[in-house]
Amino acid sequence: DAKTTQPDSMESTEGETVHLPCSHATISGNEYIYWYRQVPLQGPEYVTHGLQQNTTNSMAFLAIASDRKSSTLILPHVSLRDAAVYHCILRVGRGQGTGSKLSFGKGAKLTVSP
Amino acid sequence: GGIITQTPKFLIGQEGQKLTLKCQQNFNHDTMYWYRQDSGKGLRLIYYSITENDLQKGDLSEGYDASREKKSSFSLTVTSAQKNEMAVFLCASRTGGSAETLYFGSGTRLTVL
């Protein structure tokens, strides 16, 4: 299974734009990059995902390197509610309709100060 | 929208006890998962199921059994609780297609005395 590497923690201040890096040097060609975030006492929440192209939604912008060996989740104008553990993970498995493992690491803890 | 409901939210057991955790989803998703999360650590996959009556072992299946008798429910049994064990068990289901989005419940917090 391909693995990801993230910093253990990052600090920010309200209103800043935060860049959360993720390294996945052994990613396979058909593996998607997923980002989830988790706040205390809750399960992880989906943020975004991508394959090759950069993606954007109401929560975040995902920048994927051209060689796909790294990606960056960009959170514009963070607020206190964005404080969470952010997990960068890769889809493991093959084929539509088949179950597949999704393995999570420790993630990166984002702290947001007022 | 749908929801994943895990019961109970808190579970206290005794060493050696068999304990069952339940998970219900109304997304009509085919695939469901059980993960274990220890304090300050990542999620480890225990079991998953791609359809009713299907069971697939994850990385941490030893010491656990699972059951998927209905599409909407997926239960996990700790076959023999270990003393001083503390963890959060998270259930999830996923959308279909080549890309997968997981939806998680809020977890069952297990304490073994």
Closest to A75 measured CA to CA, from A24, A32, A13: A13
Q: What is the pLDDT of residues B9-33, one digit of tens each?
A: 999 999 999 999 999 999 999 889 9
Residue A94 has pLDDT above 90, yes or no: no
Residue A1 has pLDDT above 70, yes or no: no
Please check whether residue B89 touches A, CB under 8 A.
Answer: no
Q: What is the DSSP letter of A43?
A: -
Residue whose tokens read 């359809």: B51
* Higher pLDDT among residues B40 and B87, named by residue: B87
Please check whether residue B55 touches A, CB under 8 A.
Answer: no
The A-side interface with B (CB below 8 A) comprises 32, 34, 36, 41-46, 49, 51, 87, 91, 95-107
Residue B92 pLDDT class (50, 70, 90 cuts): very high
